[in-house]
Amino acid sequence: MVLFRSFTARFSARATPSMVLTRGLQTTRMVRQSSPVNAEELRKAAPTKIVYTRKGSVRSALFGLFFGATFASIFGASYLVEEIQKANVKLLSTVDDLYKETEKVRGYLKRIDELEKQMQVLESKMATKDHVSKVNDDMRRLYDQTSRDQLSLRAQIRDVEQDIHAALKSEGKTINL
């Protein structure tokens, strides 16, 4: 009887009949006493010749290599997918923050445009230095003119008062003003 090398073949090839007989089942005494094992039966059941084949070892080595490579590539791919998802989440949050900031900048630009328009309107209504100097010159002329007119009116009033006093003196009446 030729068996391939396996766990049972290795175990039975190494085990001696005395080991099996003395060891037996280790659960209870009743089971050990009820199942007597004959050394002759063990020799018949043990293989006489063990044949080693290399086909299975090469095949299992290639299978292990491919299985390991497949497992490593699946693990690596899943790790890369998780990292890409994390990077996408960070990128999306950054894009959202950038969008909010650009909206703020747009609001500021609109406000600046409105203020510039208001400044242009105020500048068009604002007086220039030339205009202010012309107005100042006109005001000085008006003050000078009114001062002259006031002085001439006072002089005329004084002349009229002197004429009235002179006329009343000649008649002998006095008026106190």
For 51, list phi and psi in degrees, rounded to 5: -110, 130
Domain range for 19: 1-52
* 28 C-beta neighbours (distance < 10 Å), count: 9
Q: Measured between alpha carbons, how far is residue 35 from residues 40, 44, 86, 140, 161 in Å?
A: 15, 18, 64, 142, 167
Cβ–Cβ under 8 Å, residues 32 and 24? yes
Cβ–Cβ under 8 Å, residues 58 and 25? no
Cβ–Cβ under 8 Å, residues 47 and 9? yes
Decide if 32 is inside a domain.
Answer: yes
Cβ–Cβ under 8 Å, residues 12 and 46? yes
Query: Which position has the token pair 């994390």?
Result: 86
Residue pLDDT tens, the chain, 177 long:
444 444 444 444 454 444 444 444 445 554 445 555 566 666 666 656 666 656 667 788 888 999 999 999 999 999 999 999 999 999 999 999 999 999 999 999 999 999 999 999 988 888 888 888 999 999 999 999 999 999 999 999 999 988 888 888 887 766 665
Decide if 42 is inside a domain.
Answer: yes
* Domain count for the chain: 2
| pTM value surpassing 0.85 | no
Decide if 25 is inside a domain.
Answer: yes
Decide if 94 is inside a domain.
Answer: no
Decide if 41 is inside a domain.
Answer: yes
The predicted pLDDT at position 177 comes to 57
Query: How far is Cα 20 from Cα 45, in angstroms, rounded to an integer?
Result: 13
Decide if 79 is inside a domain.
Answer: no
Distance from chain centroid for Cα 39: 79
Write the CB contacts of 175 (distance below 8 Å, at least 6 apart in sequence). 164, 165, 168
Maximum Cα interatomic distance, the chain, rounded to a whole number of Å: 188
Decide if 152 is inside a domain.
Answer: yes
Decide if 157 is inside a domain.
Answer: yes
Cβ–Cβ under 8 Å, residues 148 and 132? no
Written as six digits, the tokens of 94 are 């950054």
The predicted pLDDT at position 80 comes to 96
